[in-house]
Amino acid sequence: MAETTLPKITVALATQPAGTPTSLIEVQDLSLSYGAAQALKSISLGIGEKVVTAFIGPSGCGKSTLLRCFNRMNDLIDNVRIQGSVKIAQQDIYSQEVDVIELRKRVGMVFQKSNPFPKSIFENVAYGLRLQGITRNSQLAAAVEESLRQAALWEEVKDRLHTSGLGLSGGQQQRLCIARAIAIKPEIILMDEPASALDPIATTRVEELILDLKKDYTIVIVTHNMQQAARISDFTAFFYLGELVEYGTTSKIFTNPAKKQTEDYVTGRFG
């Protein structure tokens, strides 16, 4: 007998529209300038919880700048002026009462060029935990193992935890940095072109890792590799010259973008 029900399709074609009330990060009219140069112009968007959101766009379009607003790393630069608001979990992170240190414990970051400390692998991962006052070795060891397992690095390094983190390959170093970031269990992980300095195999591993992490963390990733954005993200935002041009589900952006500018960029017709 013919069935009339379709089998369950496990591919999650993202259907949640962007900017809904379940946004974890809410950006409203954000403008940022370094001195005279304006890097961000009136950006408004909402980033959903426990999904991967990708920021794409040509060099200098402001995607990294916006990313760094989420953990206030832009504070480190002189002459930065910000207007508008960034709310994480409904709290304005630029307000006076917010402790930047606490913010950064909840919003972690992985950088383009992997930057492990010149310490042992163990101490690298334990660094953030020690900052929070955890000093008991048993606790640290358990947490370090869990983070390294989550970062798909445990099997490779479990026998040399006390050797230098700098002795690992590029891809392993980047995974170490990811393990270090997730050790303190942030809610959000920001990734600034995490795989751009890696070879294809290492890149695939990092991408797989991001797909695995998605179920526990909210991830925002800046990438200049559009196929990567298509592979791993649920939502994509396209930026150009400091403006948000288009923001939608990854499926839509890469198969049928609404704006011509997006279409031109995605098909490589841009300069």
Partner 1 sequence: MAIQTHFDKELSDLKEILLTMASHAEAAVKNAIEALTNRDYDLAQRVREDDTVIDKFELEVDEMAIHLLAKAPLASNLRLIMVATKISQNLERVGDEASKISNRARDLAQEAPLKLTLDIPRMSNLVLQMLKGALDAFVNQDPTAARALIPRDKEVDALNKQIYRDLSNQMMQDPETITRCLNLMIVAKSLERIGDHATNVAEEVVYLCEAQDIRHTGKGSSAALQTEMEHKRAV
Partner 2 sequence: MTSAGTTTHANDFTGKKGRRFRAARIDWASLLGTGATGLATLLIVAILGIILGNIFINGLPHVSWRFVSTGTATDMFDVNKAGILPMIFGTTARVILMTLFVLPMGVLTAIYLTEYARIHSPFTRIIRGAVNNLAGVPSIVFGLFGAGFFVHFIGRGMDSALQSGGAIVWGQPALIWASATLAVMTLPVVIIATEESLRAIPQGLREASLALGASKLETIIKIVLPQAVPGIMTGAILAISRAAGEVAPILFTGAAYYMRDLPSSLHDQFMDLGYHVFILSTQSPNVDKTRPLLYATVLVLLCLTFMLNIVAIFVRAKMRKKARMLH
**Who's near 89: CB < 8 A, 6+ residues apart?**
24, 187
Candidates 215, 224, 219; CA nearest to 235 is 219
Q: Which residue's CB is nearer to partner 2, number 158 or number 162? A: 162
Is 250 an interacting residue with respect to partner 1 (CB under 8 A)? Answer: yes
Choose which of 91, 115, 255, 267 interacts with partner 1 (CB under 8 A).
255
Q: What is the distance between the alpha carbons of residues 67 and 222, in angstroms, rounded to a whole number?
A: 8
Candidates 134, 115, 105, 103; CA nearest to 126 is 134
Shortest separation between residue 5's beta carbon and partner 1, angstroms? 8
Q: What is the distance between the alpha carbons of residues 140 and 148, in angstroms, rounded to a whole number?
A: 12
Is 3 an interacting residue with respect to partner 1 (CB under 8 A)? Answer: yes
Is 71 an interacting residue with respect to partner 2 (CB under 8 A)? Answer: yes
229-248 positions binding partner 1, by CB under 8 A: 230-231
**Who's near 229: CB < 8 A, 6+ residues apart?**
54, 56, 221, 223, 236, 250, 254
182 and 152 Cβ atoms separated by less than 8 Å: no
- Residue span binding partner 2 (CB under 8 A) among the ranges 30-38, 110-118, 146-154, 257-265: 110-118
Q: Which residue's CB is nearer to partner 2, number 117 or number 263? A: 117
158-187 positions binding partner 2, by CB under 8 A: 162-164, 177, 180-181, 184
**Who's near 27: CB < 8 A, 6+ residues apart?**
43, 44, 45, 46, 47, 66, 69, 84, 85, 86, 87
Q: Which residue's CB is nearer to partner 2, number 194 or number 248? A: 194
Q: Which residue's CB is nearer to partner 2, number 105 or number 252? A: 105
- Residue span binding partner 2 (CB under 8 A) among the ranges 43-51, 101-109, 143-151, 219-227: 101-109
Phi and psi (nearest 5°) for 80?
Answer: -90, 130
Is 20 an interacting residue with respect to partner 1 (CB under 8 A)? Answer: no
161 and 150 Cβ atoms separated by less than 8 Å: no
User: Site for partner 2 (CB under 8 A): how many residues?
Assistant: 30
237 and 222 Cβ atoms separated by less than 8 Å: no
Question: How many CB atoms within 10 Å of residue 121?
Answer: 28
Is 196 an interacting residue with respect to partner 1 (CB under 8 A)? Answer: no
Choose which of 89, 131, 141, 241 interacts with partner 2 (CB under 8 A).
131
**What does 176 interact with, of partner 1, partner 2, none (CB < 5 to 8 A by kind)?**
none
Pure H helices in the chain? 63-70, 100-106, 121-131, 137-150, 154-157, 170-183, 200-213, 226-232, 250-255, 260-266
Is 254 an interacting residue with respect to partner 1 (CB under 8 A)? Answer: yes
Q: Which residue's CB is nearer to partner 1, number 69 or number 198? A: 198
| Contact residues for partner 1, defined by CB under 8 A | 1-4, 6-7, 9-11, 13, 201, 204, 208, 211, 227, 230-231, 250-251, 254-255
Residues that bind partner 2 (CB under 8 A): 71, 73, 76, 78, 101-102, 104-105, 108-109, 111, 113, 115-120, 123, 127-128, 131-132, 162-164, 177, 180-181, 184
